[in-house]
Each structure stands twice: as C-alpha cells, then as structure tokens.
Amino acid sequence: MRSWERTLEQLCVHLRETALLESIRSVLQWDERTMMPAAGGEYRAESLTWLAGSIHRRQTDPRLEDWLVELEASPLANDPHGDAGATIREVRREYDRQTRLPQLLVEQLARTTVRGEQAWVEARANDSFAMLLPWLKEIFRLKRQQAEALGYRQSPYDALLEGFEPGASTTEVATVLEQLRSELVPLVRAIQDSGRQAPRGILQRRFPRDAQERFGRFVAAAIGFDFARGRLDVTAHPFCSSLGPHDCRITTRYDEHFFPSAFFGILHEAGHGIYDQGLRPDQYGLAPGSALSLGIHESQSRLWENQVGRGRAFWQHFLPLAAREFPEALNDVSLDDFCFAINAVNPSLIRVEADEATYNLHIVIRFELEQALITGDLTVEDLPAAWNERYRRNLGIQPDSDRDGVLQDIHWSAGLIGYFPTYSLGNLYAAQFFAQVDEDLGGIEPQLARGQFGPLREWLRERIHQVGRCYSADQLVEKVTGGGLSQRCLMSYLHRRLDPLYGLG
C-alpha cells in the first residue's frame, strides 16, 4: 500500500467520525424542533454548543493539513471528479474555511442560534418582534464577525453565501435574480390584468387533519420517499433532515382550511428526502455521498413540488384518489378547476405559501435585506419597517402584523444568513432539469398521468443524487443539461403553465 493510500484511509476514517458527530447533532436538532418540551431548551443549547465545538475541532484538526498536502501531491488529485479527488478538494475547501473561524466564535454562534430559534418560536407565537430583537441583533453581530474572519473579495455577504452555495458570488446571484425579476414583473402584471380569478375557495374548504396526513404519506411514498428509511412529523417550520445514511426525517404543518399548506409542503420535503435517500450510503460523510449544495438540494424539492406536483398530469392521476380521501371538499371539483386553483397567482404575504410566479420576489426582498443587515446599511431595529416597505413596493401589499411579516421565517433566528437566494437558484435549476428529463424520456407527462414516477426518480438519482459533491453546481448543470444557469427554462415553464389558465399570450 502506497503512503498516500494509507493517508487517504486515515482521512476517510476521520471524516466518517466527524459525520457521526454531525448526525448526532442532527438527532438533537430534529428532536428539539419536533419533540422536545420547551423547558428542555436551555440544556439542549448546551449540548448543541458542545457538539458544535467538537465538530469544529475535528474540522480544524491540524493533521488534516498534513494529510491534504500529501494527498494533493498524489495521483488522486489528478481526477478531481473521482471519489477520492472530490473528497480531497471538498475537505480542503471546508478546512480552509473552518480554520479561519476562532473556536470561541463557533461556540458563541452555536449557543446563540439555538436560543435564537427558541426565541423565534415564542416571538412568533406572541407576534412580538421585540422578543426576538436582542437575539437577532446578537446573531447579526456574530455573523458579521464570521464574515470578517472568513474573508471575502467584494462583500462580507459573499463569505456567508459561500457557506450554502459554494462558488456562488453575491454579484452573480444578484444579476440572475434581477433578470428573473425583470421577466416576472410583466407576467404577474398581465395575470392581474387578465380579470380571471382562480377558484381558490375549493382549497379553503375543510380538509381534516388526519386525512391530510394519510394522503400526504400516500403521495410521498408514491413518488418514492422511503418510509422504511424515514419519518414524517409535525413542526412549526417544516424541514428535512438526515440523521444517518438510512434515516431521513421530513416535517410539515397542517391547516384544516388550506389544503396546499401541508400537501405541497410534504411534496417539497419529500423531494429533499428523495435526494438524501438517493445519495450513496457507502460514501456517507465523504464528498461523493454528500448533497452538492443548497441550491441543488432545493432543485429536487421544487421539481417534485412544482414541475411535477402542480401539473395537470399529476392530478389526472391523484385527483380521483384525493376526492376519495376528502369527499366533502372535492367531490364536485373538476380537474380544470383544481389545477387552476393550485396554480393561482396572487401577491401574498407568506413566502412558503406563495405561488410560483411571485415566490422569487419574496426571495429578492430577503436577499436585499440580509445584505443590508450584514453590511450595516440597515439596523435590526429598523428591519420590520424596511420589510413592510419592501413588500408594499415589490408586491403591492403589506402585513398587518409581524407574524405575517418579518417573523414568518426561522432562518435569520437560526443564523442562516445567505441561505434565502439558494431557494431561487433551486427554482431555476429545477426548471432546467425538468426540461432536460422531459427531453431525455421523450415526454414525461404521460408517465406522470399514469402515476409512474420511477423513470423520473431514477433519472434524477443517476444524474444528480449519485453524483454527490463530485462536481460543482455549475459543472453539474452543464453536465446534465448541456448549458449554464439561466432564467429561460423557468420562465418558459411558467408561461406554459400559466398562460392558458389566465388566457395570456
């Protein structure tokens, strides 16, 4: 055995043990968000702080530098997309990033963001931004410190964005989002001017909670979420988290008088889950067995939620089954009306319930606000006013309460700054992947209409899930679709779906 082969083995043992600690942290976080009695929060914060410190110590272990230097000079580094080459490259990226962060800051961030999440739950329940204010101030203060410690080329925001979407720059993302906005605004305006109103009322009838859960599970399993290797639970802010290579947990929240809330939430999280469940278990904790980026992760959830789940073909198959589960609500509803209802475009206050045309405008607002908060152009005290002003300007509406405004998302309270734009990247990638699979499979709609999701799922598994982190997002999109990131697929998909409903074009 060559010296570098032994070194690679040592590195992988180290990485797998770090992944073990990260999975332990995921168990504690999942439990905190779904099960833990509130009184347990303070002690849980201590546990998570301890874990964050231990993980950071392992990620900055000085032996990594020695191992990396040797491996980077070995033949393994010549194949950057091979299992070993990708692992070496990704460890280098993460090691350089982590060693720039002082241990104390890592632990302060962990402690503060755990308590921040808990404060958010309470602040939102009490509709009180004031309850969250001290936590948010402290979190943005620490995140600014983090950005300075990490370093950046143009904006401190770059340093944070890099943590969620490696390789992305603030300027590039801003450019893509601006292109998207410039095409979305006339589309939304044309829809509002069309005079047509979607029959939203049918989605606001009574959909009993138990039936929603049963139907949600049924559909999630049908598209390929494996419940033998996963769970579905209830939480305030839905998420998907993997607690190990064969233990993926998704969550949702139920509204008995708004069907899409839980249903598309479950489809969305199941899409994330199918990605995680499609990763190579033998490479768990190493680059080839890791999700590529948040943007790519989001592309998988969006594709199942929107491209598939809001399509006519999908409901050709599922509407009769839904009508059996919700006879009172759906027995008199036609496929046309149902599809119009779930694709209604209406500027609204809550991001997670926004339609596909206005959704990215919600992201643009958050993207701009968090940049301003990080650069210091906006103070946390002024955030609610700035939030409301931007909603008025961009969407023509404004919240009556912070609960439906600045308090609606957990992200900032959890220290996730630079995360929001990955949602829009996900929308863009999803449209590009879906156009490609439609071409590759010679028209996918007939399969979906028969409830056959296997070919689509396998296409995604082979081309995206099993690739793990062996390519960058740019490279993957190029490899899969033959082109670069662009708003074109998303816009033509939206026109194809919305124009007939609203009599446009």
- What positions carry a catalytic annotation? 269
According to the binding rule CB under 8 A, does residue 335 interact with a copy of itself?
no
According to the binding rule CB under 8 A, does residue 51 interact with a copy of itself?
yes
According to the binding rule CB under 8 A, does residue 31 interact with a copy of itself?
yes
Q: Is-contact 386 378, C-beta < 8 A?
A: yes
According to the binding rule CB under 8 A, does residue 28 interact with a copy of itself?
yes
According to the binding rule CB under 8 A, does residue 209 interact with a copy of itself?
no
Q: How far is the CB of 249 from a copy of itself (least distance, A)?
A: 8
- Mention every residue, 6+ apart, whose C-beta is less than 8 A from residue 255: 261, 262
Instruction: Indicate which single residue of 38, 69, 130, 335 sits in contact with a copy of itself (rule: CB under 8 A).
Output: 38
According to the binding rule CB under 8 A, does residue 455 interact with a copy of itself?
no
Q: How far is the CB of 218 from a copy of itself (least distance, A)?
A: 17
In the block, residue with structure tokens 């989001």: 298
According to the binding rule CB under 8 A, does residue 244 interact with a copy of itself?
yes
According to the binding rule CB under 8 A, does residue 246 interact with a copy of itself?
yes
According to the binding rule CB under 8 A, does residue 27 interact with a copy of itself?
yes
Q: Helices 41-59 & 103-125, crossing angle to 10 degrees?
A: 150
According to the binding rule CB under 8 A, does residue 50 interact with a copy of itself?
yes
| C-alpha triplet 346, 207, 361: angle, nearest 5° | 20
Q: What is the DSSP secondary structure assignment for residue 346, as one 8-state letter?
A: -
State the DSSP string of 56-122: HHHHT-HHHHHHHHHHHTSGGGG-TTSHHHHHHHHHHHHHHHHHTS-HHHHHHHHHHHHHHHHHHHH
Residue 247's H or E segment, with its range, is: none
Q: Which is nearer to a copy of itself, 50 or 258 (CB)?
A: 50
Q: How far is the CB of 202 from a copy of itself (least distance, A)?
A: 30
Q: Which is nearer to a copy of itself, 48 or 349 (CB)?
A: 48
What is the DSSP pairing of strand 230-234 with strand 248-252?
Answer: parallel
Distances in whole angstroms, Cα of residue 367 to Cα of each of 124, 337, 370, 382: 21, 34, 6, 16
Q: How far is the CB of 227 from a copy of itself (least distance, A)?
A: 7
Q: Which is nearer to a copy of itself, 284 or 412 (CB)?
A: 284
According to the binding rule CB under 8 A, does residue 114 interact with a copy of itself?
no
Rounded to whole angstroms, how far apart are CA atoms 197 and 50? Answer: 53
Q: What is the DSSP secondary structure assignment for residue 232, as one 8-state letter?
A: E
State the DSSP string of 217-266: HHHHHHHT--GGGEEEEE-SS--EEESSTT-EEEEE---TT-HHHHHHHH
Tell me, residue by residue from 252 to 291, as one string, x for binding to a copy of itself by CB under 8 A and - for no binding.
--------------------------------x-------
Q: Which is nearer to a copy of itself, 28 or 185 (CB)?
A: 28
Instruction: Indicate which single residue of 13, 35, 69, 335 sits in contact with a copy of itself (rule: CB under 8 A).
Output: 35
Q: How far is the CB of 32 from a copy of itself (least distance, A)?
A: 9
Q: Which is nearer to a copy of itself, 43 or 218 (CB)?
A: 43
Rounded to whole angstroms, how far apart are CA atoms 342 and 198? Answer: 8
Instruction: Indicate which single residue of 5, 10, 13, 43 sits in contact with a copy of itself (rule: CB under 8 A).
Output: 43
Q: Which is nearer to a copy of itself, 80 or 244 (CB)?
A: 244
Q: Give the 3-state secondary structure of residue 250.
A: strand
Q: Which two tokens stand for residue 401?
A: 């309460």
Q: Give the 3-state secondary structure of residue 255.
A: coil
According to the binding rule CB under 8 A, does residue 245 interact with a copy of itself?
yes
Q: How far is the CB of 49 from a copy of itself (least distance, A)?
A: 9
**Binding segment for a copy of itself among 46-54, 149-157, 254-262, 265-273 (CB under 8 A)?**
46-54
Distances in whole angstroms, Cα of residue 49 to Cα of each of 41, 102, 105, 111: 12, 14, 11, 5
Tell me, residue by residue from 210 to 229, as one string, x for binding to a copy of itself by CB under 8 A and - for no binding.
-----------------xxx
Q: Backbone phi, then psi, for 443, in 5-degree steps?
A: 90, 110
Q: How far is the CB of 27 from a copy of itself (least distance, A)?
A: 6
| Residue 75 CB neighbours (<10 A) | 11
Q: Which two tokens stand for residue 156?
A: 């401190």
Q: Which two tokens stand for residue 154?
A: 């143009």
What residues line the site for a copy of itself (CB under 8 A)?
A: 17, 20-21, 23-24, 27-28, 31, 35-40, 42-44, 46-47, 50-51, 227-231, 243-247, 284
